[in-house]
Chain A
Amino acid sequence: MGWLAGKAAWLVGDSPAIAAALAAQGARLVDGEDCDVLVHVAAPPPMRPVHELGHAEWRAVLDDGLDLRFRLAQQFAARRQAMGKGGAVLFVGAPEQSLGSDHAAAAGALGNLTKTLGVEWARDGIRVNAVLTAETGETLGNLAAYLVSDYAAYVTGAVTGVGLDD
């Protein structure tokens, strides 16, 4: 066993369940750019009425939920392409309609970005998927580890949830 044996995984953001599952499946957790697998977890932003949001607050949620994630994925893909190696990206966050309008915008954009990058980088052997869920436990960890492993070699551009309300 060990879906990720021999792979270096960079987990950005906080998810004890994903960290535990990556390690349990044999991944070496690294803190930085030299990785085969990139998992980015965005913390759910506070839920606030959209008409009470200032532009700076709105922008901060979009930066964290979308722009930063795109830039990280872009840098990851550039490195892997330069090395002539494939890889896997997984975006993790809250369900699209579960929080405020700021999050809805970021998560919707991220979902279609996932589908786009999955195809754009397909022939580089780089897969891109997303899990948008309110769950934080073992199922999320195991699903994340599976999706970034070679077992999911034919899964790319997939946006999935975990539970009923995702």
Chain B
Amino acid sequence: MLKKYIIFALIAVLGFYLASTFKAIPFGANRLGDLNNPETVSAFYLQKSPEDLHVANTITAIVVNFRGFDTLGEVTVLFLAVTGLMSILYRKEEEETEERLAIPSSSLVRTGAKILFPLILVLGIYVFVHGHLTPGGGFQGGAIIATGFLLMLITYKTFYTNHNVMTWLESIAGLGFVAAGLYGLIVYGSFLQNTAWTGNLNDLISGGLIPLIYIFIGIKVGTELTSVLDTLLNIKPRKK
């Protein structure tokens, strides 16, 4: 009985603080500041990304252009994490590995996975190709692609990712990002400076180097997360 009262009292206290917190937030009020005053940062971003960069998605403009160097750092962090994981969990193919699944997945799941896998890949590619137009981008699209590979890896005993292809794709994507940055450095004088060739706002080909960089990021994140899953599931083809 006492327990109930204590729980009620706790919920009441929590509810009071929750309500008072929400009361302090001015919902619906303009908290961005004066958008016509270009001295505030938010107004600067909101004006510059459609006008100068021709990018509809302001967040993409910030992530890939205004803070592009930071994004390069993030990609590097992910790369280092994957490298560390691979070096710890590396296994030679000759070593004996356990069976991947105790019970094979049912035929329903296998058929369904075959249907869903290309759809998931298409969605992932769509998300990172349209990163400068719609919500989402390279990291999100890469994560979606990795979930597609995870589905195939846990459904089929005989599905293996080709490590050579993965490594090459990842390296080319990483090099592409750095090359795009160096291009800006050589032509315009600062690293990751965006190019001037831009299509119309809301077109697929617009925003200079931004879509290209996001495609590189998408490929890189997708292959890296797939290799993480692959390594953690500890999957190697059995030696015949």
A and B: real partners?
A: no
